[in-house]
Structure 1
Amino acid sequence: MSTTTWFDAYDWNAVQQDIQAVTPQQVERALGNTRRTLGDFKALISPAAQAYLEPMAQLSHQLTQKRFGKTIQLYAPLYLSNECQNICTYCAFSLDNKIVRKTLTDAEIGREVNALKQLGYEHVLLVTGEANQTVGVPYLRNAIRLLQPHFAHISMEVQPLDQPEYEELIAEGLNTVLVYQETYHRETYKNHHPKGKKSNFAYRLDTPDRLGRAGVHKMGLGALLGLEDWRTDSFFTAAHLHYLERKYWQTKYSISFPRLRPIDLLQDDTITSKSFERCMSDRDLVQLICAYRLFNEEVELSLSTRETPRFRDHVLKLGVTSLSAGSKTNPGGYAVEPQSLEQFTISDERSPAEMVDVIRRQGYQPVWKDWDKTLAAL
């Protein structure tokens, strides 16, 4: 049974029109409020709010420092497989992209673990394509068992699962699950996911509810910025977060900001690059990061190596609480098969050590372990 009554309460076109119609007075009122509503969030992501970016940034910095201190959590994605049964128009792992498919063996996972530990990581994000027969629950359960002795925090970004399957993996040591809706616009979602289990919009939309019922410690939300109007998609993400926090109040939450990046396509032994034109600007993304922080002081905000070094350095103090560094987005990218095609093009190729230096130069402290364990030790 669907649990997405929160979603049915909003009309995409009406929300989009509301955001475009926001006045400067509404933005100023939102900035002046201490407990901000979803209506305030609409104001803060509106075109009218672009003129208020400086006060938004200052307030976002203050709120983040008050809640999280001067700390930035570091994590690394560990790609276990690029096998996928879906066709997605924006992903290099798509079934119709004729790349060499790879799923790591136990020994190869061990080599990746050794490489990540040498880099200093204690927080790892497991990533696969969506292929239930190859990288289903038995494979994931085994991977978590292999990784659990080596890492303080294990996150996962794989195909949506049923509630009992999440419960099984949580019992093995899974801490966090990231599941991005990609876009909350039904028709656009359908156009970009024409084949595979991922084409089921409602099942994906209900995934956070299954996670909440399973008792996951933390879940991550987000939209793939560039598939649709970023402002409207971001409002639906905020509304989703608002609903989940009230229903599953014991769970922690994070928001990510994946902007569409170029991908490599392999056809007839020829590699071509595919780019996307609808992506938001850097200024837009700064506005969105600040708007989320002003809307929710508790939510963790994560920024990946999709973004350029210059951009990541400049927004580090504006509300972000976690960063990836030295990321590889192909299975075995750290030690096993560093030359295979990646899921998307990385922008920030600096090593974790270089990123640590950047964080420290800005007066912040890099954190290698989970927030809870770190703060408990203070």
Structure 2
Amino acid sequence: MSFVDEINKYDPEQVRAGIAAKTVSDVERALSSERLRPDDFMALISPAAEGFLEAMAQKAHRLTRQRFGNTILLYAPLYISNECSNGCLYCGFNAHNRVPRRTLTLDEVERDARILHNLGFRHILLVTGEAPAKVGNDLLAAAARRIRPLFSSISIEVYPMEEAGYAQMVEAGVDGLTVYQETYDRALYSQLHPFGKKRDYDFRLLTPERAGAAGLRRIGIGFLQGLGDFRSDAFFTGLHALYLSRNFWRTQISVSFPRMRPAEGGFSPPSPVSDRSLVQLICAMRLLMPDAGLVLSTRESAALRDNLLPLGITQMSAGSCTAPGGYADGDRSTEQFAIDDDRTPAEVCALLRSRGYDPVWKDWDSAFLDRSAGC
């Protein structure tokens, strides 16, 4: 049974009503549980839990310390292209937006990659718009092979592929995937994606399963906060994370918490998510998924990222640029969205150490999978 079958068991209106109906007693019962059920998670993301944020934060902090110690994994995105054939209303790469389009050559990819390598990064995320006719599997595989000697882990955040495409990425040295469903609300999803292949809700929803079947070691999911009802989207994200952890137990599952940022096109988020609600979601997700990586990007301000650290965050981007070639050229006219935390990687590292955390540049090496090495 796929996650499409799983999610189809739920009526979105009933989910929203169920979350709204949770009581203080439901929250207290969830907080006392060692392992959360979906119904407990629903209580922790409900309005009734807003008075329990301190208790949730303390438990989330303890769990994170037990599972991850004081480590924070650092990574950086490298944008290869902003070409896109989709009409996502909220995205700066929307095919109708009149922005300069650029796709890096392999030499330009390597140039940006070497800058990030010299800054200390060993985990990198290759990002493109969704235009496989212009930036296809072969180019992505070639880019991964070109920069493979510089990084211990290469992940991708690109268009959804078939399982064979992900197998090609694995062969090229890619070990991770990030893919956001954007919103789990089918009706809203259809409104926000008027044209392009991304309009296919089910194909996107099944992307992590195809990637897991192909052998990718890391899979990250999430929803874009600000598009729809954040509580129901959080509930379905939690269900999705549980499903993936059960069915792909050899794969590390992570959850990101991206909030809408200003972008070309001037889209105004219909359902903004407050800082307090973001705190609630992070804590609730940690209690549901004690062993999952929780990711916070430079979409958020420096002050907020610093204050969210103790709540369960285990991975952070630093010194990010969302424009193709932006690290080498300094040109941000083609960026997907504006970042908020513009500190350098060195400044982020210094902050982490001052707060008692160990910044980790590398926690993996492909040699771990070299069966010829024996033991």
User: Could you say which residue in structure 2 is the equivalent of 1:189?
Assistant: 189
Would you say 1:292 and 2:306 are equivalent positions?
Answer: no
Cα separation, 1, equivalents of 2:219 and 2:140: 17
Q: Which amino acid aligns with 1:171?
A: E
Asked if the contact 1:218/1:251 (under 8 Å) is kept, the reply is yes
SS at match of 1:111: helix
Q: RMSD of aligned C-alpha atoms?
A: 1.7
Q: Which residue of 1 aligns with 2:136?
A: 136
Cα distance, 1:171–1:373 mapped onto 2, change above 3 Å: closer
SS at match of 2:127: strand
**Deviation, structure 1 residue 141:** 0.6
- Secondary structure (helix, strand or coil) at the match of 1:148 reads helix
Separation of aligned partners in 1, 2:354 and 2:126: 30
Moved more, 24-33 or 165-174: 165-174
CA shift, 1:111, in A, is 1.3
What is the CA deviation profile of residues 38-86 of structure 1, one whole-angstrom value per residue up to 9, with x for unaligned ones? 1111011000000000010011001001100000000000000000000
Output the TM-score relative to the length of structure 2: 0.95
Q: 8 Å contact 2:142–2:172 — kept in the other structure?
A: no
Task: For residue 2 of structure 1, report the CA deviation from its aligned partner.
Answer: 6.6
Amino acid at match of 2:354: R
1:119-268 aligned at under 5 Å gives the runs 119-265=119-265
* Contact preservation (8 Å) 1:264, 1:341: no
Q: Which residue of 2 aligns with 1:332?
A: 325
How far apart are the structure 2 equivalents of 1:278 and 1:374? 45
Specify the alignment match of 1:352 in structure 2.
Answer: 345
Shift of 1:375: 12
- Matched with 1:98 is 98
Matched, 1:313 2:313: no
Residue 165 of structure 1 and its aligned partner are, at CA, apart by: 0.8
Question: The residue matched to 1:58 in structure 2 has which SS?
Answer: helix
SS of equivalent to 2:99 = coil
Q: What is the deviation of 1:88? A: 0.7
CA displacement, residues 95-148 of structure 1 (integer Å, 9 cap, x when unaligned): 000111000001111210121122111110000000011111011010100111
Distance 1:66 1:78 in 2: 32
CA distance in 1 between partners of 2:68 and 2:273 (Å): 27
**Which amino acid counterpart does residue 58 of structure 1 have in structure 2?**
Q
Answer whether contact 2:3 2:240 (CA < 8 A) is retained. Answer: no
CA distance 1:258–1:374, change in 2 (3 Å):
farther
Cα-to-partner distance string for 1:129-170 (whole Å, 9 max, x where unaligned): 000111110110101001111001101000000001101111
Q: TM-score, normalised by structure 1?
A: 0.95
Runs (4+) off by over 6 Å: 372-376
| Equivalent residues, number | 369
Whole-angstrom distance in 1 between the partners of 2:366 and 2:273: 35
State the Cα distance separating 1:337 from its structure 2 match. Answer: 4.9
Residue identity opposite 2:278 in structure 1: L
- Give the percent of matched residue pairs that are identical in Structure 1 and Structure 2: 50
1:269 counterpart residue number = none
In structure 2, what is the Cα distance between the partners aligned to 1:166 and 1:370? 22
Kept after mapping to 2: 8 A contact 1:261/1:275:
no
Q: Distance in 1 between matches of 2:312 and 2:3?
A: 31
